Structure 1
Amino acid sequence: MIRTTKTAGLMLASGLTTLALMQPASALEAQAFIDRFEAVYAVMGYELDFGTATLDGDTITVDGVTVGFAGTEEEPTTFDTELTFTGVVENEDGSYFAEQLTVPDIDTEFASDPVGHLSVTGIVAEGLWLPPEDEYSAENLLQTVDRVATGPLVVSRDGAEVVRYDGLDYSSEFGYADDDALESVNSKFTVSNIWADLSTVGEEEPEAGAVIESLGLTEIKGNISQAGTWTLSDGRLALTESVMDFENIGKLNFTFDILGFTPAVLDKIYAMNASDIDPTTEEGQAQQMMMGMEMAQALSIASADIRYDDAGLAPKLLDLFAAQSGIDRAAFVEAIKPVVPAMMADLNAPALVDLIVPAVNAFLDDPQSFEVAVAPASPTSFLVLAAAAANPAGLIQALGLTVTANQ
């Protein structure tokens, strides 16, 4: 009986001691996670200041955050809302992983006259990874998040919707070698079913409102999408599409393929952003120039392309400007054709004029598409291209520059 009582007493005392010791340890783990989050994102230029963090199982709840950006004069923004990290674990190597970060739906007024109201639902980040302390290399920072998304966003003005979209989604897929080293990153970004009502612009800017009305752009609809791949070994960064596509306006697509953008280069960019270089001094400007030359030497361009496909905007613009000039569109087009070569006269680059002017004239006559592309015979460093810029004809050849319309 005595042994039983004593054993029970010892067990109770041990349990209470363990419980007492666990309380500060849990709070410390929650704060350590938040401190790591702030440190990791500071390397990427974010200045985060989280509120109080509490731990419940594998869930960490944070009372708000203040967000600023290094190197800017803008005042930090405080988000007084609860942030919830779920599925949080600390790995054996000292890194952290959280399955998901959720933010309560936003439903707030941001202006009073006129009344501006914003609502966003379904705000989420998934697959959050924080590398071990002080192991904040570019390769590690690339892997900090798998996906960021929101559901519908609506902005209203005095109770009437003026902007909305169905959803925003950014995601990355990571490829790894047999030794678990990061090999590649494939990323996608979309903003779907964007809609905007521009009919009220004229209330504050009558001239802009009149132009919007005459162009029939009081309501616009469209989508934005981007996709890209990055292989770390050769630093090949390829933006395979970057599309803004709006009904009755047009589609703009930008792509590029560059080499040499390795994690080492990205590390230099992070270091430069974090440095105390003063760009207003001669010494600071010299340092920035040297860093810029290093980047230009490291990076090479394999190709780049920007293309616009008209869906009705260009003819409306030409008709508008022609009417303002008091002539028909055909006469207006002929009147403005000499403008481009006149603007380029100071460049003293007849080869460039011969390349651009025919394409511009063809587009003015029949606005369908306009495209500017570069495709060097072999990848060429930006430093070499900068040196070649003194000779426009040589630069055109080095770039493999083409300018075309309606093709």
Structure 2
Amino acid sequence: MMRVSLSGARGLMLISTLLLSTTAFAAPDATKIANSVVASLQAKGGTKASFDSAAANGDDVVITNLKISNEGSEATVPSVVIASPVERTPGGFTAKSIAFDAGKVVDGDQTISWKTGISNDAIVPDPSEMHSTAKITPFSHFEIAGISVVNKSAPDPVTVDSVTFDLGNVIDGAPNDGKLAISGINVPGSVLKSAGQGASTLTDLGYDSLLLNIGVDGGYDSAKNALTINGITVDGKDIGKLAIGGTFGGLPREKLQNADQLKELAPTATLEVASIRYDDAGLTNRLLDMQAKQLGAKREDLVAMVPGFLPLAFSQVNITDEAFKTQVSDAVSAFLKDPKSLSIKFAPTAPVLLMDVSKAAMVNPNGVISLLGVGVSANN
């Protein structure tokens, strides 16, 4: 019988430890990882990228002074920290995260800078995979925070608290759900006053700054070739919130994500259901007060007058559907008297080809209303 001595077992453990420390736990090839970043950035042409140095720091790679230039603009990130990169086939790498803090982009008279940037569960693909049909989820969460936009012609910077982008519901390597949030967009009053007529109107309405949040939330159903927009929202402080949603069919993924094939979607794209909703947070009252002042009228008289202009508007677009006209008039009247919400819903009895909608609109606007199942309501 063969016996293994204690010293022999210790020897095996020592050899195993040495093997593990020099293979599985070997420091990443920092230069190779950095070159992969450059190759990915330059894959589509027109973009140039470079870095000063790359070094391993434990399991991480630190790239110093990454520069990216394209058509006169230049981005600089003093330090890019790639956490636990792992090389992949056919090329590129995966990483627990990629941090790119304190960067800036200079484009002509405009400079965009940020305090922190992070991409979690990151994939930096091989240049051969940089095409629209590649099934890759580049990150699970992407965020840039503390953004400042400075323009030489503007008196003060426009700031943004954060921009986040989340991808989920990954099937066969490709994400099917996406959520974008742009939070805390702050446009100072000084910028509004120096901008065009549309922006200066806001100051006339009594806004000394503009604070917005923007969101886009949607998902794709590969089995149905359908895109659902859970919400495209624009929410302004003391202004109101506009929300748009809907489901659209007949959209094969390979065409939807290829800019060269988007025009091929026209014959197949359908509307299944959609909605537009505005929740007022002060804008309507300010508009009514301003218009009443300009006309030298009382606000309540103006509220009573506006619905009277609707018949003219209907005649201009050849709408004769009396039930629909009454529905719109009632909704507008209710909203102006007590501005809370105004909604438009599209609920066709069956999915409608968008091409058919445009054709019907040119021939018979009343038919479009019936075709799309349009409904208008207020304060619900």
TM-score normalised to the size of structure 1?
0.71
2:81, 2:36 → 1: CA distance? 13
Q: Choose the corresponding residue for 1:63, options 62, 66, 89.
A: 66
More deviation in 348-357 or 225-234?
348-357
Q: Indicate whether 1:186 and 2:189 are aligned.
A: no
2:175, 2:188 → 1: CA distance? 41
1:197 is matched with 188
2:115 is matched with 121
1:260, 1:188 → 2: CA distance? 22
Superposed CA deviations along residues 1-58 of structure 1, whole A, max 9, x for unmatched, are xxxxxxxxxxxxxxxxxxxxxxxx985774355223432xx3xxx8432124754346
Q: Choose the corresponding residue for 1:237, options 206, 227, 233.
A: 227
Q: Choose the corresponding residue for 2:371, options 376, 398, 403.
A: 398
Query: Structure 1: where are the runs of 5+ without partners?
Result: 1-24, 68-74, 273-290
The answer to whether the 8 Å contact 2:74/2:107 transfers is no
2:226, 2:349 → 1: CA distance? 17
Question: Which structure's residues are more often helix, by fraction?
Answer: 1
2:196, 2:358 → 1: CA distance? 44
Identify if the C-alpha distance between structure 1 residues 128 and 262 changes in structure 2 by more than 3 Å, giving closer, same or farther. farther
Percent sequence identity is 22
How many residue pairs get aligned? The number is 343
Q: Indicate whether 1:152 and 2:137 are aligned.
A: no
2:48, 2:54 → 1: CA distance? 18
SS at match of 2:90: coil
Identify if the C-alpha distance between structure 1 residues 36 and 164 changes in structure 2 by more than 3 Å, giving closer, same or farther. closer
The answer to whether the 8 Å contact 1:183/1:231 transfers is no
Written as runs of structure 1 = structure 2, the 5 A alignment for 1:282-297 is: 292=263, 294-297=264-267
2:33, 2:112 → 1: CA distance? 35
Q: CA deviation at 1:133?
A: 5.0
Identify if the C-alpha distance between structure 1 residues 94 and 405 changes in structure 2 by more than 3 Å, giving closer, same or farther. same
SS at match of 1:166: strand
1:304, 1:210 → 2: CA distance? 33
2:210, 2:73 → 1: CA distance? 30
Q: Choose the corresponding residue for 1:320, options 290, 297, 301.
A: 290
The answer to whether the 8 Å contact 1:237/1:257 transfers is yes
2:137, 2:325 → 1: CA distance? 46
Query: Structure 2: where are the runs of 5+ without partners?
Result: 1-28
Q: CA deviation at 1:387?
A: 3.2
1:287 is matched with none
Residue type of the partner of 2:163?
L
SS at match of 2:42: helix
The answer to whether the 8 Å contact 1:83/1:101 transfers is no
Identify if the C-alpha distance between structure 1 residues 210 and 190 changes in structure 2 by more than 3 Å, giving closer, same or farther. closer
Q: Choose the corresponding residue for 2:279, options 309, 326, 333.
A: 309
Residue type of the partner of 2:48?
D
Identify if the C-alpha distance between structure 1 residues 311 and 84 changes in structure 2 by more than 3 Å, giving closer, same or farther. same
SS at match of 1:175: coil
1:314, 1:138 → 2: CA distance? 43
Q: CA deviation at 1:130?
A: 4.1
Q: CA deviation at 1:79?
A: 1.6
Q: Choose the corresponding residue for 1:248, options 234, 238, 261.
A: 238
SS at match of 2:216: strand
Q: CA deviation at 1:205?
A: 6.2
The answer to whether the 8 Å contact 1:388/1:394 transfers is yes
2:12 is matched with none
Superposed CA deviations along residues 298-320 of structure 1, whole A, max 9, x for unmatched, are 22221111100111110111111
Residue type of the partner of 1:246?
G
The answer to whether the 8 Å contact 1:31/1:53 transfers is no
Q: CA deviation at 1:258?
A: 1.3
1:52, 1:156 → 2: CA distance? 25
